[in-house]
Amino acid sequence: MDEKLFIHGYEAVGRGALNAGCLHFFGYPITPQNEITEFFARELPQRGGRFVQVESEASSASFVFGAAAGGVRVMTSTASPGWGLMQEILSHIAFCELPCVVVNVQRGGPGQGTTRHAQTDYLSATRGGGHGGYKSIVLAPSSVQECHDLMQLAFYLADKYRILTVVLADGILIQIAEYIDVKPIDFGPVPPKDWALKGIGKKEGRFDFIQSTRGLMPPIYKTIVEQLHEKYGKIAESETRVKTYQADDAELLLISYGYVARCCEEAVNMARGEGLKVGMIQPITLWPFPYETLEQKASQGCRFLVVEDSMGQLVEDVRLAVEDKKRVALLGMSSRHLAGELGMIFPETIFEEVKKLI
């Protein structure tokens, strides 16, 4: 598959996964991501893969646990309330260090919230949404192309580090269509899954116990938790990714991700059109978060406007990076153009805020 296509975000997610060699998908319907689940229902059987519509997101996460333990590339996709329901099992996946990918197409929360877009699961995704204190790699696409490419990166990173990788999208990204390059990306080799569960007859007698009560027997609990966090440290050191736009000489930097980053890009263009020194920094990995990049910019005297479609979650990370909290402003959900579920934060609104700040 190497072609230029005009496709929706949901199809880009699907084709990205196929290009990563993922042939296992287990899911449960929820808006606004149903098209992703339906894509796999259509595509996987024809490719010899496995698709099962299960009875809940707790179950889809459990199927993912099993298939990841079986050694294949596997994923599921959901939207916010389903993301919530998965957290129990995702914590077990984290402790068992099973490589897999979960797409969360964010919709408005809390509760059933809305069936449209929002960015209200940032903290839940970046802090390890379930119990016990763990980390997942969190990737944030802001275009249909990135939906496709970051899916492939997600599988690579999951296998490289034996970790859950979350692709945190939103209802807008998944529903828009753009021209993109559809092709497999080679990130390099990943470690062999010689630990996969398939019966000892296929493993020359080697037996593995993938278990969520690790630590009862040696290596004991504290050692395992420390090793896990050592791994998180390594990931933070080497896998932090950002995108910058007009950032070199910028006095004010817009910080955003997902669909909102597209609106910010537009706002930067408006500002530059009037000679204002405005740029943007867009984290591609929400965890690990690019604290150092922001710290550096802060030390050069930059100010920051965080734009996000929530009441303020991403802004917490920016405030962690920037010592002088007065230099960080927030434009959040209250600035949507409509009060109802269709409301969005438009470039014009962002530009107005920029003019007030600069």
Partner 1 sequence: MNDKAGSVHKEKIYGPSDYKMDFPLPSCPGCGSPSACKIIVEALEELGLIQNSVVVIGVGCAGMGFFGTKMDMAMCAHGPSPSVAAGIKHANYDDVTVFTVQGDGDCAAIGAGYLINSAARGDKITIFMFNNTNYGTTGGQMAPTTLLGQVTTTTPQGRDGMAQGYPLHVPEILATMKGVAYSARGSIHNFAHYQRTKKYVKSALQKQTAGIGLSFVEILTACPVNWRMEPIKAIRWIEEEVTVEYPLGEFKNAD
Site residues (vs partner 1, CB under 8 A): 24, 26, 50, 52, 54-56, 58-59, 62-72, 74, 88-89, 92, 96, 196-203, 205, 207-213
Question: Vertex 201, ends 199 and 204: CA angle to 5°?
Answer: 115
Nearer to partner 1, 199 or 340 (CB): 199
In DSSP terms, which residues pair with 307 in a beta bridge?
A: 331
- The helix/strand/coil state of 335 is helix
Q: Which residues contact 233 (CB under 8 A, 6 or more apart)?
A: none
Pairing of strands 74-79, 252-255: unpaired
In whole angstroms, what is the distance from residue 114 CA to residue 110 CA? 9
**CA pair distance 73, 22, nearest whole angstrom:** 5
Q: What minimum distance in Å lies between the beta carbon of 187 and partner 1?
A: 22
* CA 13 – CA 193 distance, rounded (Å): 24
| CB of residue 71 to partner 1, shortest distance in Å | 6
Smaller CB separation from partner 1, 65 or 156: 65
For partner 1, which is the closer residue by CB, 92 or 116? 92
Q: Looking at beta carbons only, is 53 or 115 nearer to partner 1? A: 53
At closest approach, how far in Å is the CB of 108 from partner 1? Answer: 27
End-to-end CA distance of the chain: 47
H/E element holding 93? helix 80-96
User: Closer CB to partner 1, residue 103 or residue 252?
Assistant: 103
- Give the list of residues 6+ apart from residue 68 with CB closer than 8 angstroms, or none: 74, 93, 98, 99, 100
CB of 81 to partner 1, least distance (A): 17
CB of 74 to partner 1, least distance (A): 7
The least CB distance from residue 201 to partner 1, in Å, is 3
**Taking the complex as a whole, how short is the minimal distance between the CB of residue 89 and partner 1, in angstroms?**
6
In terms of DSSP bridges, do strands 242-245 and 278-283 run parallel, antiparallel, or are they unpaired?
A: antiparallel
Q: Which residue reads 């007030």 in tokens?
A: 356
Query: CB of 287: closest distance to partner 1 in angstroms?
Result: 23
| CA–CA dist 283, 261 (Å, integer) | 10
64 vs 345 by CB, closer to partner 1: 64
Query: Based on CB atoms, which residue is closest to partner 1, 131 or 234?
Result: 131
Distance between CA atoms of residues 279 and 234, nearest Å: 29
Instruction: Give 54 or 242: the residue with its C-beta nearer to partner 1.
Output: 54
